[in-house]
């Protein structure tokens, strides 16, 4: 179950919803209990009350819980958002979580189901 119950995180995602910020797009999804629809946090269609919002960490979890993708922001179409930013965020989170382990780009890529990672601007340090 990946429904996000962390209150601090919920507040951050909800703040992004209020601000129409795309900061968490592709990372968290805001499902709205009253409509049965889930959105990207930046979706402009509606501003739900916090008590009606459930934050999910994946479209899969939101759909499995019975929510449908919003037709307006199309949260299930990952390519509509900045894919590099999305992947960079996921890779960054992964590295923070696993920094004590030996990490290779291949391992990160396979864990995150990314076809491959290229490193632009790597300095080789």
CA distance 20 to 69: 17
Between 29 and 91, name the residue whose CB sits nearer to Zn ion. 29
Residues 6+ apart with CB under 8 A from 37: 31, 67, 68, 69, 70
At residue 37, φ and ψ (nearest 5 deg) are -120, 145
Q: How far is the CB of 67 from Zn ion (least distance, A)?
A: 11
Under rule CB under 5 A, residue 20 binds Zn ion: no
| DSSP three-state, residue 37 | strand
Q: Residue 77, interface with Zn ion (CB under 5 A)?
A: no
Of 31 and 70, nearer to Zn ion (C-beta) is 70
Shortest distance, CB of residue 59 to Zn ion, whole angstroms?
A: 12
Answer yes or no whether residue 43 interacts with Zn ion by CB under 5 A: yes
* Member of 5, 49, 72, 93 binding Zn ion (CB under 5 A): 72
Q: Where are the beta strands (DSSP E) in 68-117?
A: 68-69
User: How many residues make contact with Zn ion (CB under 5 A)?
Assistant: 6
73 binds Zn ion (CB under 5 A): yes
Residue 3: in which H helix or E strand, if any?
A: strand 3-4
Contact indicator for 43, 26 with CB cutoff of 8 Å = no
Is 70 a catalytic site residue?
A: no
CB 81 to Zn ion: min, Å: 12
Which residues of the chain form contacts with Zn ion (CB under 5 A)? 39, 43, 45, 70, 72-73
Q: Which residues are catalytic?
A: 39
């Amino acid at each position: 179950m990946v429904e996000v119950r962390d209150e601090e995180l919920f507040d951050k995602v909800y703040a992004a919803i209020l601000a129409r910020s795309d900061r968490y797009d592709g990372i968290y999804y805001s499902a709205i209990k009253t409509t049965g629809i889930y959105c990207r946090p930046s979706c402009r269609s509606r501003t739900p009350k916090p008590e009606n919002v459930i934050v999910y960490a994946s479209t899969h979890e939101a759909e499995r819980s019975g929510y449908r993708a919003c037709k307006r922001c199309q949260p299930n179409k990952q390519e509509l958002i900045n894919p590099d930013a999305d992947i960079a965020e996921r890779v960054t989170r992964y590295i923070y979580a696993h920094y004590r382990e030996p990490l290779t780009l291949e391992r990160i890529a396979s864990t995150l189901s990314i076809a491959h990672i290229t490193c632009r601007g790597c300095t080789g340090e």
